[in-house]
């Protein structure tokens, strides 16, 4: 039935993936719009259930996967390349680092750079710490860096590493299901593989839709500040529609080069805003605080990485750590595919070191500049940014920028940055979703990419109608869980493949059970079928 309908519509997609995913999304939108109160109540219940029963799994999984990546990079598999032996990287190191930054942090840093530190400053995660104090400020910076540092990039790096390895070294399609070939074999081309790709597709759409929703709330606040645009659902839906329209046009016209240049220009503007705040703000406090934040982050990371509020029995982590990990996990297929596409030829050791290290350093600088400047304003200059953030988290950036010279100009630049980040995110997400659902031997059809873009905008608008920020948090906490489970199995599948590769066996031999099993001490010399690339 699906095949016949696909031929009738002229699809280049895998029918089972396309129609099932679209059917789920249509049911979601069809239920949520007319019954938004019931929708909000249902996902509030589902989000609470996921947090209470599986919040610990999110925390343990992401921290465990960080240790896994360090082990993979520093161990005997670190010399293996994401591509044939002897083929070097396609991009230089500096270019690669810049593209890594563009891949996963633009929208996130613009929204949370002020909002998260000030939220924790006003309402510390530890009940024994009083809000609005210096102790609360230190804790706020620690948790902000915990959320957006190594753990964020672990979630992006693992699927990127696995996709790059199975695509460029093993010649499999660039889809999430390919990552499980060492476990499933040719079953990745059947119902099991389709189910994996459907989960990844839905996760990508919902993850980027949440980003569009959060960015819309922030844009509505910025336009209210700059132009007096009312802050209400009508304005929010108008902003979503505008972003969706621009992204659809760029997809339809094939403006890849234009969007790329615009993204690069956007990053420059973001860096200009960063430098402006650092120079006109409390520069010495920022510099010394950045150094201290690095040490405090590394010192406190072990206990923060496994903290689950077990003795507090609170819900702080539901709205912060678990939500953020779930949201980032939902982005993992999208960002993972992008990073994989720019990382061909790098060794695993180079890849993991760069993908974890470079973004971590930039994130530390960004949060130190914006977070510590905002904290300094409240602690030493009588502002109440923390109080405003408690009332409306989307106001954080613009309330903060209002305290600086040329606030109107800088706020206008911030609005431009947010719009471009959201538009390029929606555009790129449509391309990735189309890739996840398309047949390997078929070209990408313009109308399919436009269709996915429109559907993404529809989901974002639906989430905003269904309860705004609260709905965004509840939906992503619940729907991010299946892909969190897949990430754990992804690590196992990658390890099996790397072990066989290290011994000189092919994926086909591994799938047929001809490769020796993994052992805690590694293979004996006589077990190796061939000699791979020498250690660096």
Q: Rounded CA gap, 231 and 222, in Å?
A: 10
d(CA 135, CA 149): 21
Sign of CA dihedral 172, 179, 200, 416: negative
C-alpha 12/C-alpha 440 separation (Å) is: 9
Residue 283 CB neighbour total at 10 angstroms: 13
pLDDT at 307 over 60: yes
Report the pLDDT value the prediction gives residue 261, as an integer from 0 to 100. 67
Please state the rounded mean pLDDT for residues 296-325.
88
Residue 148 to residue 217: CA distance in whole angstroms? 21
HSE-up of residue 65 (Cα within 13 Å, Cβ side): 31
**Beta-carbon neighbour count of residue 422 at 10 Å?**
30
Count of beta carbons in the 10 Å neighbourhood of residue 384: 13
65 vs 221, more confident:
65
- Tell me if residue 438 falls in helix, strand or coil: strand
Candidates 156, 49, 140; CA nearest to 103 is 156
Q: Is the pLDDT of residue 282 over 70?
A: yes
Angstrom distances, CA of residue 470 to CA of 204, 324, 467, 501: 19, 13, 6, 46
Predicted pLDDT at 153: 93
Number of alpha helices (DSSP H) and beta strands (DSSP E) in the chain = 22, 0
Cα-Cα-Cα-Cα dihedral sign, residues 8, 12, 14, 20: negative
Q: Residue 354: name the closest of 73, 72, 71 by CA.
A: 73
Mean pLDDT, residues 90-119:
78
Output helix, strand, coil percentages for the chain, rounded to the nearest 5: 80, 0, 20
Q: pTM of this prediction?
A: 0.88
Give the pLDDT score at 39.
Answer: 79
Q: How far apart are CA 145 and CA 141, in angstroms?
A: 6
Q: Distance (Å, rounded) from C-alpha 137 to C-alpha 143? A: 10
Report DSSP letters for 340-407, one per residue.
Answer: HHT-TT-BHHHHHHHHHHHHHHHHHHHHHHHHHHHHHHHHHS---HHHHHHH-GGGHHHHHHTTSTTH
- CA-to-CA separations, 410 to 237, 262, 368, 397, in angstroms, rounded: 25, 18, 19, 11
Output the pLDDT for position 103: 58
Average pLDDT over residues 396-424: 89
Residues 355/444/494/101 CA torsion (nearest 10 deg): 10
**pLDDT attached to residue 521:** 43
- What's residue 432's pLDDT? 85
pLDDT at 234 over 70: yes
DSSP assignments along 170-193, one per residue:
T---SSGGGGGHHHHGGGGGSHHH
Q: Is the pLDDT of residue 256 over 50?
A: yes
pLDDT surpassing 60 at residue 314:
yes
pLDDT-based confidence at 524, cuts 50/70/90?
very low
What pLDDT, in 10s, does the model give residues 431-446? 888 888 888 777 778 8
pLDDT of residue 105: 62
Q: Does pLDDT of 348 surpass 90? A: yes
Q: Say whether 6 sits in a helix, a strand or coil.
A: helix
pLDDT score at 533 = 43
Give the integer Cα–Cα distance in Å for 284 and 262.
33
Look at residue 69 and tell me whether its pLDDT is greater than 80. yes
Q: Which of 294, 300, 309 is nearest to 364 (CA)?
A: 294
**Is the model's pLDDT at 534 over the cut of 50?**
no
Residue 305 CA to residue 237 CA, distance in Å, equals: 37
Which of these, 295, 256, 247, lies nearest to 429 by C-alpha position? 247
**Alpha-carbon distances of 368 from 101, 214, 362, rounded to whole Å:** 17, 22, 10
What is the C-alpha to C-alpha distance for residues 229 and 532, in angstroms, rounded to an integer? Answer: 62
Query: Which residue in 511, 478, 432 sits closest to 322, CA to CA?
Result: 478
């Amino acid at each position: 039935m699906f095949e016949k309908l696909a031929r009738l519509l002229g699809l280049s997609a895998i029918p089972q993936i396309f129609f099932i995913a679209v059917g789920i999304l249509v049911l979601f939108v069809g239920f949520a719009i007319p019954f938004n109160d019931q929708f909000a109540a249902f996902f509030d219940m589902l989000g609470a259930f996921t947090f209470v029963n599986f919040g610990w799994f999110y925390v343990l999984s992401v921290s465990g996967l960080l240790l896994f990546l360090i082990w993979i990079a520093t161990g005997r598999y670190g010399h293996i390349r994401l591509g044939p032996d002897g083929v070097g990287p396609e991009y230089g190191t500096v270019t690669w680092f810049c593209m890594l930054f563009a891949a996963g942090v633009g929208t996130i840093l613009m929204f949370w750079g002020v909002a998260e530190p000030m939220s924790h400053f006003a309402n510390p995660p530890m009940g024994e710490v009083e809000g609005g104090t210096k102790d609360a400020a230190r804790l706020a910076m620690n948790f902000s860096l915990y959320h957006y540092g190594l753990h964020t990039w672990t979630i992006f790096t693992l699927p990127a590493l696995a996709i790059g390895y199975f695509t460029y070294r093993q010649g499999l399609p660039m889809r999430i299901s390919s990552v499980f070939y060492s476990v499933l074999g040719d079953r990745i081309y059947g119902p099991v593989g389709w189910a994996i790709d459907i989960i990844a597709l839905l996760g990508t759409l919902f993850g980027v839709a949440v980003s569009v929703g959060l960015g819309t709330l922030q844009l509505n606040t910025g336009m209210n500040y700059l132009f007096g645009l009312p802050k209400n659902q009508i304005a929010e839906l108008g902003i979503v529609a505008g972003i969706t329209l621009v992204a659809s046009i760029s997809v339809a016209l094939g403006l890849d080069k234009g969007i790329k240049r615009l993204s690069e220009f956007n990053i420059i503007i973001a860096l200009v805003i960063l430098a402006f705040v650092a120079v006109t703000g409390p520069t010495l406090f920022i510099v010394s605080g950045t150094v201290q934040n690095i040490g405090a982050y590394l010192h406190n990371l072990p206990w923060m990485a496994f903290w689950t509020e077990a003795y507090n029995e609170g819900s702080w982590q539901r709205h912060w750590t678990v939500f953020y990990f779930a949201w980032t996990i939902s982005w993992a297929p999208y960002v993972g595919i992008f990073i994989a596409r720019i990382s061909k030829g790098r060794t695993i050791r180079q890849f993991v070191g760069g993908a974890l290290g470079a973004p971590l350093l930039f994130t530390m600088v960004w949060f130190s500049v914006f977070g510590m400047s905002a904290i300094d304003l409240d602690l030493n200059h009588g502002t109440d940014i923390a109080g405003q953030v408690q009332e409306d988290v989307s106001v954080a950036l613009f309330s903060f920028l209002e305290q600086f010279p040329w606030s109107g100009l800088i706020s206008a630049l911030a609005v431009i940055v947010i719009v471009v980040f959201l538009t390029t995110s929606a555009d790129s997400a449509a391309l990735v979703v189309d890739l996840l659902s398309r047949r390997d031997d078929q070209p990408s059809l313009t109308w399919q990419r436009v269709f996915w873009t429109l559907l993404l905008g529809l989901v974002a608008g639906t989430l905003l109608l269904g309860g705004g920020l609260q709905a965004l948090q509840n939906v992503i906490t619940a729907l991010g869980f299946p892909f969190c489970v897949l990430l754990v199995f992804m690590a196992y599948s990658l390890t099996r493949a790397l072990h066989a590769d290290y011994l000189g066996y092919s994926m086909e031999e591994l799938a047929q059970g001809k490769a020796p099993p993994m052992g805690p001490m590694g293979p004996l010399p006589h077990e190796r079928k061939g000699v791979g690339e020498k250690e660096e």
